Structure 1
Amino acid sequence: MKLLTFEEQGIHKLGVQTAQGIVDVAASAEKVGNTTIQTDIMAVISATAAEVAELQAFITTVLADGQAVCVDADEITWGPAVTKPHKIICVGLNYRRHADETKAPYPEVPILFNKFDNTLTGHNSEIEIPKMTEELDYEVELGIVIGKKAKYVTQEDALDHVFGYCAVNDLSARDLQMRTQQWLLGKTCDKFSPVGPYLVTADEIDNPNDLSLKTYVNGDLRQNSNTSDMIFSCAEIVSYISDYMTLEPGDLILTGTPEGVVLGLPREQRVYIQPGDIVTVEIEKLGTLTNRFVAEN
């Protein structure tokens, strides 16, 4: 399934993208009198396999019966595909060619840092460029969303704990990021983690380490790579993190960005994100996530 959220009266409602359009799950359930179906995306993420299957069956039934309440993708306010993660954990320098372009050695173990939920936003959201930075960079990243509690899981079992995958733009204010040895300041400004448009369930992704990734700035292709270039695979990352902390349903892991970021260019060629720029990141099978950037008021 392709799950999503959209905002209505300050609430993130659950939607499911189908060939017939986006189904408003709560409105459809109310219409047919179903009081048991999950209508919150975080509840679905932590649900049992049987409950997720029940949601899929419900969507199939209301579409077939003509009882589905659908919303227009061009008229909704998209929310983040994950609304309330317990943790947002990021992996730095996890693509070989990205490490090469920044002249950094390949890490021997995953480099971890964190973001917070103030960074979350959705597809088509306007993002203010903070006054404190002059070097805002884009980073297309594959997001892993945990579905089952994981502690000391092996690499062989790690992906069994994944609910699904999503596209993320790990926005990075490079001047703030490099101000100190800790990267946090440059990574955690408001709306610095657009997530979406969809959270795609793991059953639709045969191999998360064989997906193309791209970034466009105003239509110009800037990043063009594949998750096969990861230094540490998705399974390795989940297993490694679980050795040090318990991963909970809804936790979001950002797995690193490939080559093509502004920081990787010679200094005289670097043109960072400017007000009016439209940045689109897309990942094969996961959808296209677009945001417009504006000056901070």
Structure 2
Amino acid sequence: MKLVTFRPHGGATAIGVVDGDEIVPLAADPELPTAMVEFVALGDAGLARARALIGTAPRIPLTDVAIAAPIRPRNNVMCVGKNYYEHAAEFAGSGFDASQKQVIPDEPVIFTKALSSLADPGDPVTVSEDPTESSDYEGELGVVIGAGGRHIREAEAFDHVYGYTIVNDLTVRDLQKRHVQFFIGKSAHTYCPMGPYLVTADDIDDVGALRLQTRVNGELRQDAVVKDLIFDIPRLISAISTAVALEPGDVIATGTPAGVGIGFTPPRFLRPGDLMEVSIDGLGTLTNRAV
């Protein structure tokens, strides 16, 4: 099922199911919540009620709404650094990795992005506010947690996956290097576009086969499949939940492949006017322009 958070022109934010080129608003069932994070917490029971609306509820054309980030988690967006082999190598050789000397990490490198960095599909990303002019793009698969928990075993991790979305983990590289810890460089305002949809896990036959591609001004920069992750989704969920109590609606950005701006000589950082498009099979395309 393809879920969406949207705003009718002039209306309040709502959630719904995308069916073709239309949205079935979940508000047609007054017992369903109006925020995606609360809907995700209902699990299968919520999805069953949503399915019951598809054939009966009134619909809204997609062209009549603005698409928002599909979910606003209660916790910071959790992210993974250096999780594709070729990107780990390009980052290690870029001169911007001040965190550790390992090219390939022994354990997942986990950091977070502030919720205030969230941006909607189509929102401008304010790279002009970066005085270092070192802003970079990072297309990533986002995993949305359904059933929460701690100490989740790898063998049971997919039981905790509600669905998937797209994240652009934008970074101010100069701040990332200067502060060693990634949080400041990753959390600039508008530097976490997400969406356009939240696609439930039952709609994805093989998440490892999904292809991720990032284009800047139409030029293909990143191209990889999810199975190339160094640490796969079960390992990430297990590692994070060793200490963190995962909650329904939490988002884990699983890492970015090679082809980011720092991988070029000289680096190809974002400039106002650049158009970023991150596409993942079955999840759509997340489009944002730098301003």
TM-score w.r.t. the length of structure 1 is 0.89
Task: Encode CA deviations 1:149-186: one digit per residue, 9 max, x unaligned.
Answer: 12111111011011111011000111111112111111
Aligned to 2:99: none
CA drift of 1:251 comes to: 0.8
TM-score w.r.t. the length of structure 2 is 0.91
Task: Encode CA deviations 1:256-293: one digit per residue, 9 max, x unaligned.
Answer: 00000011122x2x221111111000111111000011
Aligned to 2:18: 17
Aligned to 2:123: 125
**Correspondence 1:93 to 2:77:** no
Aligned to 2:208: 209
CA drift of 1:233 comes to: 0.2
Question: What is the distance in 1 between the residues matched to 2:208 and 2:131?
Answer: 36
Question: What is the distance in 2 between the residues matched to 1:192 and 1:25?
Answer: 29
Question: What is the distance in 1 between the residues matched to 2:67 and 2:188?
Answer: 20
Task: Encode CA deviations 1:59-108: one digit per residue, 9 max, x unaligned.
Answer: 2x22xxxx4231333x4222111123323111100001111222361100
CA drift of 1:204 comes to: 0.9
Do the aligned partners of residues 109 and 21 (structure 1) sit closer, same or farther apart at CA in structure 2, a change above 3 Å counting?
same
Aligned to 2:47: 52
CA drift of 1:134 comes to: 0.3
Percent identity (aligned): 40
**Correspondence 1:282 to 2:279:** yes
CA drift of 1:38 comes to: 3.8
The 5-angstrom pairing of residues 224-263 of structure 1 reads 224-263=223-262
C-alpha contact (below 8 Å) 2:276/2:288 kept by paired residues: yes
CA drift of 1:20 comes to: 4.5
Aligned to 1:6: 6
C-alpha contact (below 8 Å) 2:71/2:249 kept by paired residues: yes
The 5-angstrom pairing of residues 102-181 of structure 1 reads 102-103=91-92, 105-129=103-127, 130-181=129-180
Task: Encode CA deviations 1:94-125: one digit per residue, 9 max, x unaligned.
Answer: 00111122236110000011111111111111
Structure 1, unaligned runs of 5 or more? none
Which secondary structure state, in structure 1, belongs to the residue aligned with residue 207 of structure 2? coil
C-alpha contact (below 8 Å) 2:141/2:280 kept by paired residues: yes
After TM superposition, the structure 1 stretch with the greater mean CA deviation from structure 2, 234-243 or 1-10, is 1-10
The residue type equivalent to 1:81 in the other structure is P
Question: What is the distance in 1 between the residues matched to 2:12 and 2:231?
Answer: 37
Which secondary structure state, in structure 2, belongs to the residue aligned with residue 132 of structure 1? coil
Give aligned pairs, total: 280
The residue type equivalent to 1:19 in the other structure is G
Question: What is the distance in 2 between the residues matched to 1:214 and 1:248?
Answer: 29
Question: What is the distance in 1 between the residues matched to 2:194 and 2:110?
Answer: 19
The residue type equivalent to 2:131 in the other structure is M
Aligned to 1:72: 62
